[in-house]
Amino acid sequence: MTEHTNGARGDFADFVRVEVPTLTRAAYLMTGDRHHAEDLVQTTLARVAVRWDHVDEPAAYARRVLYTQSVSWWRRRAARVSETLTARVPDQPRLDTDVDVAVVLERALHRLTPRQRAVLVLRFFEDRTESETAELLNCRIGTVKSQTRHALRRLRELSPDLAQLEMDR
Amino acid sequence: MNEWLTRGLHAIADRVPPAAVPEDLFNQARSRHRRRTVRGGIALTGVLLVIAVSLVRPIWQQPSVFGAGGPQAGIPTEVVVPPHWCATVGQSSPGPAAAIFGGEATRDDWFEGRFAAVSATGDRYRVIDEMPYRPPGFEALLSPDGRYVAHGRAVTALTKDGKDISYLPGDVIAFSPRSDRLVFATEAELTHPNTYTTPIVGIYDLASRSTVTQVDVGSAWISPGWTAAMSADGRRLALQVRDEIWITRLEGTVGTPYLKIRVPGGRLAGPGSWLPDGRSLMVAEPASDGGWRLSERDTQTGEPVERPALPVPPAATFLRVIAWHSADSAVVLAGFSHGDVKPASDNYDVSLGPFRSSTTDQVRLVVLTRGAASARTVLETPEGVDDLDVAADLATAEAFRSPGEPTFGPPHTLYLIGGSLILAAVTIAIFVAVRAVRNRGRRKAAAASNRG
């Protein structure tokens, strides 16, 4: 093994140590499932490893791979949580704490489309601007705006308590 | 809502532990990528090859048959020397051939035994490679229907991907007019004092793959080359034995000569020696101009038959009658020399056919008509081609055609292998060079970065 390869391997290990926690959180928000999130992170890192010698900003490249992979159709099919319709509206917990909000939000997130989830995660979890989000998702800014708008409206429809919470505060 | 959304997303994400990452992910991922790239490249190359071959293959192998329905079959009035990369008959079947030919022009140091075949229904050229060189028309014979080439002991079908379909018990010396049987001669034993003999002459049946008749020639030596001719009905055999022509009825398993015609200095005139009615046959005899002339002998008495002479070409180095269009019109191969005409002489040599003159430079296919002033030349071989045989059925029908655009089939296997190796070497060299340049640029950038 050459000196160059050894060096690259060490750099990649450092990158993994630093970036995996962040990537995992974003992946979990995108997929809603720990196993799928882990799978997505490993797929992303494998891609980064292959392109390691050619990528100037590995962190940015990893995020781009993560989000584009998460919305690709074959992953969407595998990751989608099947929805079961019932005659009774499920009980809604009281939203007294952030944990309560998280429970309701997580349930609602599952019912968004992968692209809508990606837009919300980038805009409100990673605090990206619209242009950065558009670049990472490889789409236009107008698409980001419309997807954000649709996602928020869908969240309000799915969880009226979240909308009520917004008005209360 | 945005603030609560942000807090809610963080609350969800913060509960998740970091994903487990395999320790050797870096190397594993890169190795897997390389394997996939190689596999993908191989698969893509395979698919492209299959597509290319399926697109081009019909050009190499056009169906061709004599008779109605197919393109007009005929002997081309010109032939060309195929290039080195011409396909073999084993690689790509040419279909029934109009002619086979060879000479210095078709051979070189790599392909010492190479001769060519050209299709009857188009100018599809293919080659037969074998060692030693067997001169077409002498030791390599084309069947009258053009479907087989007998060379030495092997019989190759030109319509079946060039596979040897049969092996004779001896060396071929003639085809039957129907192309279903062959005459062969072989050595049987060593006689005192250490002289090889060829006392066995047999008739081999292609369908049953067996010797159906054996002709008793005693201890006579049957030289290789065209030394036999079967009558049009296939019931009689004329055989050159030293300076005699023995005529035998092919009845039963053993044939015994009923007539021996002495032809001092003369020879049986080729596979088409028998006239169509079977009452006489042609004999080539030395002519006063140093070439050859044709005379006719009665097949019952052996006496000369007086008829108007055929206008043979002057100073021919050999004459070989192929077929008769009618009793008055023969199709003949005639050799000629660029140099001085030498007296016609038999060249009885163990390694060469007895009637292959070493002074021949080129061969002409001519039509000889009784009473005509001169021979009509149909085909003349290119420079360096001094051996020729043609399909007798086409000659009988005087089916001659203008030459078309020659095609030579897929490249010869050796050239395909060589080309692939060169292509692979060039590709690897380019790949290595690109990587070297890229690595150098990367090292420079890293050095500049470190200095900065």
Edge-to-edge strand ranges of the sheet holding B97-102? B125-128, B115-119, B97-102, B387-390
Select the residue of B19, B22, B26 nearest A24 (Cβ to Cβ). B19
Q: What is the mean pLDDT of chain B?
A: 84
Comparing CA positions, the residue from A156, A95, A91, A84 lying closest to residue A120 is A156
Residue numbers in B near A156 (CB within 8 A): 1
ipTM for the predicted complex: 0.79
Do B229 and B182 contact (CB within 8 A), yes or no? Answer: no
pLDDT for residue B274: 96
pLDDT for residue B348: 44
- Give the three-state DSSP class for B16: coil
- pLDDT-wise least confident of A91-100, B176-185, B211-220: A91-100
Do residue B26 and residue A52 have CB atoms under 8 angstroms apart?
A: yes
Phi, psi of B197 (to 5 degrees): -130, 165
Q: What is the mean pLDDT of chain A?
A: 79
In tens, the pLDDT along B240-263 reads: 888 889 999 998 888 889 999 999
In tens, the pLDDT along B31-66 reads: 999 898 888 888 887 787 777 666 655 555 544 444
CA distance A138 to chain B (A): 23
Sign of CA dihedral A148, A154, A160, A162: negative
Q: How many residues does chain A have?
A: 169
pLDDT for residue B166: 84
Predicted confidence (pLDDT) at residue A27 exceeds the cutoff of 70: yes
Q: Which carries the bigger pLDDT value, residue B366 or residue B14?
A: B366
Residue numbers in B near A166 (CB within 8 A): 1, 4
CA distance B450 to chain A (A): 14
Query: What's the start-to-end Cα distance of chain B, in Å?
Result: 47
Indicate the domain borders of chain A: 1-80, 84-169
Predicted confidence (pLDDT) at residue B341 exceeds the cutoff of 70: no
In tens, the pLDDT along A30-75 reads: 888 888 889 999 999 999 999 888 888 888 899 889 988 887 755 5
Instruction: Please state, in angstroms and as integers, the Cα–Cα distance from residue A164 to each residue in A154, B151, B350, B406, following that order.
Output: 14, 99, 113, 87
| Percentage with pLDDT > 70 across chain B | 85
Q: State whether CATH 2.130.10 applies to domain B65-401.
A: yes
All residues at 6 or more sequence positions from B124 whose CB lies less than 8 Å from its CB, including other chains:
B62, B64, B94, B95, B118, B406, B407, B408, B409
Q: Does B377 touch chain A (CB under 8 A)?
A: no
Q: How confident is residue B310, by pLDDT bands cut at 50, 70 and 90?
A: very high
Provide the residue type at A141 as one letter. Answer: I
Instruction: Please state, in angstroms and as integers, the Cα–Cα distance from residue B178 to each residue in B182, B234, B246, following that order.
Output: 10, 8, 22
What are the structure tokens assigned to A162, written together? 């979240």
CA distance B153 to chain A (A): 60
Q: How confident is residue A89, by pLDDT bands cut at 50, 70 and 90?
A: very low
Predicted confidence (pLDDT) at residue B346 exceeds the cutoff of 50: no
What are the structure tokens assigned to A152, written together? 């928020």
CA distance B451 to chain A (A): 18
Do A71 and A122 contact (CB within 8 A), yes or no? Answer: no
What are the structure tokens assigned to B6, written together? 């942000």
Distance of alpha carbon B75 from alpha carbon B89, whole angstroms: 19
pLDDT for residue B198: 53
Do residue A152 and residue B28 have CB atoms under 8 angstroms apart?
A: no
**CATH level 3 topology of A84-169:** Arc Repressor Mutant, subunit A (1.10.10)
Residue whose entry in the numeric block shows the structure tokens 């009689």:
B236
CB proximity under 8 Å: A 87-116 to B: 98-99, 101-102, 104-106, 109
Distance of alpha carbon B234 from alpha carbon B255, whole angstroms: 13
Q: Three-state SS string across B387-436, please?
A: EEEECHHHHHCCCEECCCCCECCCCCHHHHHHHHHHHHHHHHHHHHHHHH
Comparing CA positions, the residue from B257, B276, B262 lying closest to residue B321 is B276
Beta strands in B221-360 (DSSP E): 228-230, 236-241, 244-249, 254-255, 257-262, 267-268, 280-286, 292-298, 318-326, 329-336
Distance of alpha carbon B443 from alpha carbon B359, whole angstroms: 72
What per-residue string of b and e applies to A28-64 under the rule 16 or more CB within 10 Å gives b?
bbbbbbeebbbbbbbbbbbbbbbbbeeeeebeebbbb
Please state the rounded mean pLDDT for residues B101-105: 94
Q: How confident is residue B183, by pLDDT bands cut at 50, 70 and 90?
A: very high
Give the single-character DSSP code of B105.
Answer: G
In tens, the pLDDT along B394-406 reads: 999 999 999 988 9
Residue numbers in B near A29 (CB within 8 A): 9, 12-13
In tens, the pLDDT along B383-429 reads: 999 999 999 999 999 999 999 889 988 776 677 777 778 888 888 88
Measure CA A66 to chain center.
8
Q: Does B450 touch chain A (CB under 8 A)?
A: no
- Residue B192 neighbours by CB distance under 10 Å: 5
pLDDT for residue B236: 95
Predicted confidence (pLDDT) at residue B160 exceeds the cutoff of 50: yes
Q: Does A66 touch chain B (CB under 8 A)?
A: no
CB proximity under 8 Å: B 29-48 to A: 29-30, 32-33
Do residue B9 and residue A8 have CB atoms under 8 angstroms apart?
A: no
Nearest CA in chain A to B33: A50
The helix (H) or strand (E) run that includes residue B101 is: strand B97-102
The helix (H) or strand (E) run that includes residue A9 is: helix A3-31
Q: How confident is residue B217, by pLDDT bands cut at 50, 70 and 90?
A: confident
Comparing CA positions, the residue from A87, A62, A76, A166 lying closest to residue A113 is A76
Find the largest Cα–Cα distance for chain A.
Answer: 65
Q: Does B13 touch chain A (CB under 8 A)?
A: yes
Indicate the domain borders of chain B: 65-401
Predicted confidence (pLDDT) at residue B450 exceeds the cutoff of 70: no
Q: State whether CATH 1.20.1410 applies to domain A1-80.
A: no
Residue numbers in B near A23 (CB within 8 A): 19
Instruction: Please state, in angstroms and as integers, the Cα–Cα distance from residue A28 to each residue in A13, B3, B18, B153, following that order.
Output: 22, 20, 10, 78
Q: Which of A61, A95, A98 to mutate to test the interface with B (most CBs of B within 10 A)?
A: A98
Q: How confident is residue B280, by pLDDT bands cut at 50, 70 and 90?
A: very high
CA distance A109 to chain B (A): 10
Provide the residue type at B448 as one letter. Answer: A
Provide the residue type at B215 as one letter. Answer: V
- Residue B13 neighbours by CB distance under 10 Å: 21
Predicted confidence (pLDDT) at residue A83 exceeds the cutoff of 90: no
Residue whose entry in the numeric block shows the structure tokens 């990649």:
A12
Distance of alpha carbon A26 from alpha carbon A75, whole angstroms: 15
CA distance B421 to chain A (A): 28
In tens, the pLDDT along A119-144 reads: 999 998 888 899 988 888 888 999 99
Comparing CA positions, the residue from B294, B284, B290 lying closest to residue B315 is B290
